[in-house]
Amino acid sequence: MTARVSLVNDQKIKSILLLRSADLALTIHALDLLAKQFPGAKVFLLTQRPVLDFFKSQAARAELIEYPFRDFHPGIDPLTLPGVPRVDLALALYKNQGEGYEEVNAFLLACIRARFFGRINGALDLAFRSVPAVMRRAIVLKNICKLYDYHPGAALRSRHLSRRYGRNSRQMILCGPGCRIRVENSGKLNLGANAIVRFGYVPGEWQTIQRPGGVAVRIHRGAELTFSGSVNLFSNVKILVFPCARMSIGEGSYVAFGTRIFVQDSIEIGRNCAISWDVELADSDFHRVKFEDARVRRSGIRIGDQVWIGAGSRILKGVTLGNHVTVGAGSVVTRDFPDHSVIAGNPAKLIAEQPGE
């Protein structure tokens, strides 16, 4: 992908496909730019289901195409995108100058049929060019290899797990090197529709200081771990689901570097949650607290949708957090908090309330 503005006559561009950005306002500005730059051209916006309604009300200039997955990356099978048309120009949309968008560029080249490829950056500068087939293949191959940190064993492991636990090509497991995923007899690893789960993931901007892989997941007999949609488990995350316990993680959530999750009863994590690094969730004491008490106290943890948990926090047994809760870094959460709470401290206390929608 180039940073040079193409010399192609704008009048030759009759159809355009834009990948939506996580920055919704930037996406609207980019659509406005395309309307001015290419008057009369048909513009398609490839976007995920959770924001379809937003763009239906805000992006009248574009024809919306639902993208079934969370992220744009070259591991996607183009056959899972039958509604995406051939266009004259395909564009990625960056929030910055392009740092960390190599996978997005490779997705564009691998999955979108177009005459010209390019980008709009965070400053709304537009650049595009024709990309020869040999160059397209080289860029796509390089980035597919990067999905597995250039480790053939990780690629083979990913393919094996995808076939074993996925029902079709819309369900994928991508493993970095050194990931250990053990599902014991009668244990279950469940993937929701269109779920792409990345074990040992490292976002582009972190790749100079973090290495992919190192995730360890063990699902004991009779236990279940369910990914309701696409989820990213960053490098060195540890998940242990004890016998007959249940854990689920919702669509769009991620668990960052070095976080540990231990489940003896049940842990539910909602949609679009951000769990920062070095967090620990444990729904049990794992041993008796008093010598004369033979019981091991355990009680499930429930985390709502769009919850942010700061680095180094601890979520203890029996806690329920509502939707849109923010947990400050280093907090120890020992009790329930309702929707829109901002909490922090040891033990965590309510320090503010965010306005509801």
Q: Just list the catalytic residues.
A: 287
Radius of gyration of the chain (CA): 22
> Can you state the percent helix, strand and coil of the chain, rounding each to 5?
20, 30, 50
| Sign (positive or negative) of CA dihedral 141, 142, 148, 152 | positive
Q: Among candidates 239, 230, 3, which has minimal Cα distance to 98?
A: 3
In this structure, are residues 327 and 345 in contact, taking their beta carbons and an 8 Å threshold?
no
How many CB atoms within 10 Å of residue 96?
11
Q: Are strands 349-353 and 341-344 parallel, antiparallel or unpaired?
A: antiparallel
The tokens for 7 are 């010399």
CB under 8 A, 24+ apart: contacts of 37-42: 37/10, 37/126, 38/10, 38/13, 38/89, 40/14, 41/13, 41/14, 41/15, 41/16, 41/88, 42/14, 42/15, 42/16
The tokens for 255 are 């668990």
**How far is the C-alpha of 264 from the C-alpha of 247, rounded, in Å?**
9
